[in-house]
A and B are shown apart, each in its own frame.
Chain A
């Protein structure tokens, strides 16, 4: 890497780190989120306890695989692209985006850096306490059967980490599409109301994807949201074996590339029609 591209990389990193620090200030929201997600985590576990007690058939997932799915899902909920960054939405609405265009940076990459931090920071704030709680605290208070199991193997655990990195990239790219679309819609309210109804279903957060009927499986397989929850969770539990995990992670990156190209082209179109308010 030559000196110029290195310092350019540094510029985007600085943007991301700054935004990251800012989002980390919203600790109250993170604690409240943690409480809510814990509550729903318990409800989901109880639903599946009832489900597994009521069935004699062999299900596509074991109870322990479902536990992994639920607790990781609760911990990584904030990673899903279900909302837009209020700061970017505000910049677009008030015309503050002019200053973004005054910086010697590529606009897509500039926003991508900000969006990456916007997705990563709250996730980190919630994931850590959720993992501690689900793994350590639950057994201590007598719920050891409901606790989060360890990864299936060391390799599964490692691949899970790689897969979550891909999830972050994928989710950020998808959020970017929404951010670019804001240039047309101006208000982010539409996305903020619509996406929570769509994304968690297709990512597998309402019902784990393998438990959907067989005829739906091909459709569920060929959509990008799967890579935002289902894939990393099943790699962790070994439901996706190690040798298949490489392919699944490659698929996540494939979808990432597709969505980045989509967002980038959308931004080029938006740029030509961008009329900054107050001209």
Chain B
């Protein structure tokens, strides 16, 4: 049995709606109309212990809903789900003792308390023994460089500082599984890198299973061995970052002067900007480059993957209902 097992998961919300304007508001008082929103539709996947899985999809795709079901907060409308052999929403209290969750958009720390007091309160809530707490918190404080922040009330922290503290807070009880919902949202480059290397280390050295949602493809490329892609509540892809890449390459060529491309070569050109031309080539890239350099005088040349964002955006667009 995999550590996280999800089969045909369904979640429908009932959303109250009213027509715009004053008349709509008045009618809403008397007669409420509800609309069913399908947040998840037949979502199935399983995750083994120690995996680091990226969960991506556009806003409103159902990522957070999945995480909330997996962590026992929401009850699904249908389907099966087991985490560590427990049904999350039926055994919520037992289940949550073994998971750590960070919602990037809101903090789990107590706003008016110094950071260390939040940690201590979590120690008591999760009933962590003093010895374990000292060991874990010392390690987290060192790795995430929290010592200058410990006595600062949470409301005075910057977003990057707060996120580091939040990450530490989610690990005080040494969970086997870590759910990260947009942990890098709004962070600057340095903070993002720190976050990534920490998550990676936690996964490698402790074997913590990590499921992380993000909009940042660099997060995915840097961290994840596996990728789940969801849109409109339906799982579109379950594979590796490699699978997402086609054999298409971008060939960036700086010519000596503005080139007169032959019709055949011009058909590969996607963007032209003076002496620079960007070609899109599928397979046979070495032959193409040899051909170009044989026919034109080339100043510089670069081959790269198409940006993963474009590939993903393409998949999102294709999945329009």
Contact = CB atoms under 8 A, between A and B. Distances in A.
A104 B68 contact: no
A278 B103 CA distance: 11
B18 to A, nearest CB: 16
Contacts of B296: none
A105 B39 contact: no
B71 to A, nearest CB: 6
> 5 closest A-B pairs (Cβ-Cβ)?
A14-B124, A104-B97, A99-B108, A7-B127, A101-B73
A18 interface: yes
A266 interface: no
Contacts of B96: 101-104
Contacts of A105: 93, 125
B241 to A, nearest CB: 27
25 contacts: A7-B127, A10-B127, A18-B110, A18-B113, A18-B117, A18-B121, A22-B110, A22-B112, A22-B113, A98-B68, A98-B103, A98-B106, A99-B106, A99-B108, A101-B72, A102-B72, A102-B99, A102-B101, A104-B94, A104-B126, A275-B74, A278-B105, A279-B64, A279-B65, A279-B68
Contacts of B125: 11, 14-15, 103-105
Interface in A1-53: 4, 7-8, 10-11, 13-15, 18, 22, 25
Contact of B73 (A13, A94, A276): A276
B72 A11 contact: no
Given A102-B72, A102-B73, 12 more contacts: A10-B127, A13-B124, A14-B124, A98-B106, A101-B92, A102-B99, A103-B126, A104-B93, A104-B97, A275-B13, A276-B68, A278-B105
A25 B72 CA distance: 34
A14 B110 CA distance: 13
Interface in A66-96: 94-96
Contacts of B101: 99, 102
Among B39, B72, B121, B124, the most chain A Cβ lie within 10 Å of the Cβ of: B124
B244 interface: no
B278 interface: no
Nearest to A10: B124
B75 interface: yes
A11 B64 contact: no
Interface in A88-129: 94-96, 98-99, 101-106
A128 to B, nearest CB: 23
A63 B69 CA distance: 62
Interface in B56-75: 64-65, 68, 71-75
Contacts of A102: 71-73, 96, 99, 101, 108
A95 B68 CA distance: 12
Contacts of A101: 72-73, 92, 96
A56 interface: no
Given A98-B103, A279-B64, A8 B127 contact: yes
Contact of A94 (B72, B75, B106, B121): B106
B166 to A, nearest CB: 10
Contacts of B110: 18, 22
Given A8-B127, A22-B112, A15 B72 contact: no
A6 to B, nearest CB: 10
Contacts of A96: 106
A272 B75 contact: yes
A7 to B, nearest CB: 5
A101 B108 CA distance: 11
Contacts of A11: 124-127
Interface string B104-136: 011010101100010011001111000000000
Interface string A264-279: 0000000010011011
Contacts of B127: 4, 7-8, 10-11, 104
Interface string B298-314: 00000000000000000
A10 B127 CA distance: 8
Nearest to A98: B73
Nearest to B95: A104
Nearest to A7: B127
Nearest to B37: A279
A4 B64 CA distance: 33
